[in-house]
Structure 1
Amino acid sequence: MFEIQPMNAELFRKQTRRSTVIIALIFLALAMVLSTAAVALFGEPGGDNLRFNVGGVFVAVLLMVALMRGMFWSQAWMAPAVYGWQLKRSLMSITNVMHQVTAAVETGDPTAMKLLRFYHLGLSQMHELDGNSSDHGQLSREVEQHKARMEALGLDTEQTQLNPAWLEAVKQTPK
């Protein structure tokens, strides 16, 4: 279950830039070392060694995937980037069924209303973290209308957790 956490946008951007630079530098070093090693071991002096260079880069990509999943993902310096990825992934899971969510909200389905509220809160945070204020302004009217409708029905508007059961329930609603 994903939960929206309060974050300082400036600090978030600074930390994600730093982790991106670290990952890029590690990848470049691996790609260079592995390509050079492949050419030295299997290449021909003065010959066409493109396939060995490409092979070294490909192995570096595979190694980076393994490092990301196995080592880096749980490191403290990656936490903001991981959080951002999880937030965007959660929002995308709702976007994929948005037509069903909006249809269920129109019928007054409380589960769909909670799901849409989480989506609004998550999208607002994503825009803030990404420094994208133009998209946020366009959404505010819809967000406020939905919040007022939830309050009128006595539903909690602080939907900071995405319950996967909500998604499943909305997916089961007729299209």
Structure 2
Amino acid sequence: MFTLQNIDPKDYRQRTRKSSLILIVVFASLGMGLSSLLVIIWGTPGGNHFRLNLLGVLLGLAITFLLVKMVFSQQPFMREAVYGWHLKRNLMRVTNKMHSIKTLAATDQAEALKLLHFYHQALEQMHRLEGDDTALLELKVEKLATEQKMQQLGMETNLNYLDPSWLQALAELEV
């Protein structure tokens, strides 16, 4: 289950910039260091070292990826970036089913309305975190319409999470 967190957009942008800079430095250091090491070990004086340099950069990329996956993602400096990745991934899960969600929401199907409500909240948060306020006005109208429909049906509108069972129920209704 993915839950929306209350994160200050200014802090989010500052911390994601910091984590991005750290990852860039790690990748650049590994790529250049491994390229140089490979040239020292297997290079020939005056020879073409393009393949060794490319291999060093690719190894640096692979090691950086593994470090992010296994070590950095659990570090405090990466918390906001990891949250942003999860937010976007869960938004994409809902977006991929949006045609079905809107169709079923029009027929007052509960899980579809919950998914639509989560989508609006998550999209609004993503736009705020990334400083994109222009899309918020258009989103507010849709969000309010969904909330009003949920209230008319006696449904809870203070949902700040995505329950995977909603997507499962939607998949069962599509079959």
Q: TM-score, normalised by structure 1?
A: 0.98
Tell me the distance in 1 between the aligned counterparts of 2:115 and 2:123. Answer: 12
Q: Does 1:107 align with 2:145?
A: no
Q: Does 1:157 align with 2:163?
A: no
Aligned-residue offset at 1:82 = 0.3
Between the two proteins, the alignment pairs up a number of residues equal to: 175
| Residue pair 1:87, 1:122 contacting (<8 A) in 2 also | yes
Misfit runs of 4+, over 4 Å: none
| Secondary structure of 2:102 counterpart | helix
Q: Which residue type is aligned with residue 90 of structure 1?
A: N
Tell me the distance in 2 between the aligned counterparts of 1:108 and 1:138. Answer: 22
Aligned-residue offset at 1:111 = 0.9
| Residue pair 1:12, 1:80 contacting (<8 A) in 2 also | yes
Q: TM-score, normalised by structure 2?
A: 0.98
Partner residue in 2 for 1:31: 31
Aligned-residue offset at 1:164 = 0.7
Tell me the distance in 2 between the aligned counterparts of 1:141 and 1:160. Answer: 18
Tell me the distance in 2 between the aligned counterparts of 1:158 and 1:41. Answer: 61
Aligned-residue offset at 1:174 = 2.8
Q: Does 1:125 align with 2:125?
A: yes
Aligned-residue offset at 1:50 = 0.1
| Residue pair 1:100, 1:171 contacting (<8 A) in 2 also | no
| Secondary structure of 1:124 counterpart | helix
1:43-78 alpha-carbon deviations (Å, 9 max, x no partner): 111111000000000000110111011100000100
Question: Is 122-131 or 163-172 further displaced after alignment?
Answer: 163-172
| Secondary structure of 1:173 counterpart | helix
Partner residue in 2 for 1:98: 98
Q: Does 1:78 align with 2:56?
A: no
Partner residue in 2 for 1:4: 4
Aligned-residue offset at 1:173 = 1.9
Structure 2 gaps, min length 5? none
Q: Does 1:18 align with 2:36?
A: no
